[in-house]
Amino acid sequence: MLQNMGSSAGNPGIQRNKVNIMLKAYKYRMYPNKSQRKLLAMSFGCVRFIWNKNVEVFNDRGEFKTSTEYRAKFPFLKDVSAAIIQQKEIDFKQYKTQFFSKKRKKTYRPTIV
């Protein structure tokens, strides 16, 4: 819906429009079967493991490893999707960038979950 907000002060010919946007949200309930529950638990555990390894390296000021290196070193990480491990790696890099930013909000050192 567009509404005419009137003309601007200096230029009577220019009009400003306001756009009203309605946002919708949907909630879904999942009912995973036994094998899906097991896969979800393994996925969450592996993501937590990767986050904790990154925190450990960050606190020790060590060299960060890629998700491929972690998957080669820890074979249980091959049981879950590589995408979720890569996403957690990206999330940690973004957290690191925000942590060292001068314009950051009050953030604390990452903790092991």
pLDDT in tens, 43-77: 999 999 999 999 999 988 888 899 899 999 999 99
In a domain, 19, yes or no: no
Task: Please give the model's pTM, rounded to 2 decimal places.
Answer: 0.67
Number of domains in the chain: 1
pLDDT category at 9 given cuts 50, 70, 90 is: low
Answer yes or no: is 10 within a domain.
no
Q: Give Rg (Cα) of the chain.
A: 23
Residue 48 lies in a domain: yes
In a domain, 29, yes or no: no
Give domain status of residue 23, yes or no: no
pLDDT digits (tens, 9 = 90+) for 67-103: 899 999 999 999 999 999 999 999 999 888 887 777 7
Contacts of 62 (CB under 8 A, 6+ apart): 56
Closest CA to 19 of 4, 39, 41: 4
